[in-house]
Amino acid sequence: MGGNYTQPKFILLGITDTPWAQAPLFGLFLLIYIITLAGNMGLVVLVWVAPSLHTPMYFFLAHFSLADICYSTVISPKMLTDLLFGDKTISWAGCVAQFHLFALFVTAECHLLAAMAYDRHVAICHPLRYVLLVSPRSCRRLVACSYLVASLSALLYTGCTFGGSFCGPLRVDHFFCDAGPLLRLACSDTRGRELAIFGLAAANGLGTGAAIVLSYGRVLCAVLGTRSAPGRARAFRTCASHLASVSVFYGSLFFMYLQPASWHGSRDKVASVFYTVVSPVLNPFIYSLRNTEVRAALGKCRRRMLNLCRHQRDVVF
């Protein structure tokens, strides 16, 4: 009989079982989570209130930041409470919900990254057709398709992971409910389900990854053909920073989901930390805060707030 009847709760073994490391890790990950929320939410609000950022590029960035907030929130609060209180149990429904939402937002982020790369490709390689190819309607469709594909993929991922029976004790050797550690607890043969998950991950990861590499490859070829040295340097810096973020995100995802099950081990937790914790906190700095348009919009908003505060103070006094 499956463990979901005899023992309806999973036990997350966490990042480490070393007692002295719990408090430092809690402080570190709490700080990272706060910066992640502040940076990504700040970017979303800035794109919403600043008219100069009402462009396709920042429309995609805002949704990308929302996805960062969502999937980081699916993982980090539970991980932090486990580190702080030591109660590492999670209900069956909670485990299913955590995995499903994580799969949804991570898959959506892959497709949003591809949409952002397409936007940069059209802007640099086909500037005269940019307004036609990347219209507001096209942007909304790209974002809607990203979430639609992600929703369908997440349903399939969840069905493959939780579709069989589990044998107790349900001790998940991870800090969140993920497919690999959960399938290792299954009572029945999981090769078919592992192959289906591998195929889905390959279709989403390799498909969007190839689109990103091709788009930035065309961008770099176009930049090399320009005569402006400052323009080439600026474009190279932008592409290099974007590709660095993509490499961290996709590299850790590929390591986790595009390798044989027999290769998985203790390094999986390190790879998972990169795409669940490190990548969301770096993205606001890489994609936006180094951008002159974002800095200019921040300056305008700050001056507007200071003027409003001075006006309120003058009215009071």
Q: Does 1 or 243 have the greater pLDDT score?
A: 243
How do residues 55-105 score in pLDDT, each as one tens digit?
A: 898 899 899 999 999 989 999 999 999 998 878 899 989 999 999 999 999
- pLDDT the model gives residue 259: 67
How do residues 18-66 score in pLDDT, each as one tens digit?
A: 888 888 999 999 999 999 999 999 889 988 988 888 889 889 989 999 9
Amino acid at 93: A
- pLDDT the model gives residue 147: 96
- pLDDT the model gives residue 108: 95
Range of 112's domain?
A: 3-316
Q: Mean pLDDT: which of 49-63, 241-255, 281-295 is highest?
A: 49-63
Work out the mean pLDDT of the chain and round it to a whole number: 84
Q: Does 29 or 257 have the greater pLDDT score?
A: 29
Q: Mean pLDDT: which of 195-199, 220-224, 286-290 is highest?
A: 195-199
- pLDDT the model gives residue 244: 75
Q: Is residue 121 within 8 Å of 133, Cβ to Cβ?
A: no
Question: Model pTM?
Answer: 0.87
- pLDDT the model gives residue 105: 95
Residue 20's CB is within 10 A of a number of other CB atoms, namely 7
- The count of domains in the chain is 1
How do residues 291-315 score in pLDDT, each as one tens digit?
A: 777 777 777 877 777 776 665 665 5
Q: Does 75 or 287 have the greater pLDDT score?
A: 75
HEC profile of the chain: CCHHHHCCEEEECCCCCCHHHHHHHHHHHHHHHHHHHHHHHHHHHHHHHCHHHCCHHHHHHHHHHHHHHHHHHHHHHHHHHHHHHCCCEEEHHHHHHHHHHHHHHHHHHHHHHHHHHHHHHHHHHCHHHHHHHCCHHHHHHHHHHHHHHHHHHHHHHHHHHHCCCECCCCEECCCCCCHHHHHCCECCCCHHHHHHHHHHHHHHHHHHHHHHHHHHHHHHHHHHCCCCHHHHHHHHHHHHHHHHHHHHHHHHHHHHHCCCHHHCCCHHHHHHHHHHHHHHHHHHHHHHHCCHHHHHHHHHHHHHHHHHHHHHHHHHC
Q: Does 15 or 111 have the greater pLDDT score?
A: 111
CATH code of the domain in which 34 resides:
1.20.1070.10
- Structure tokens, 153: 């993929």
φ, ψ at 170 (rounded to 5°)? -85, 70
Query: What distance in Å separates the CA atoms of residue 50 and residue 67, rounded to the nearest whole number?
Result: 21
pLDDT above 80 (res 129)? yes
Query: Residue 198's pLDDT band (boundaries 50, 70, 90)?
Result: confident
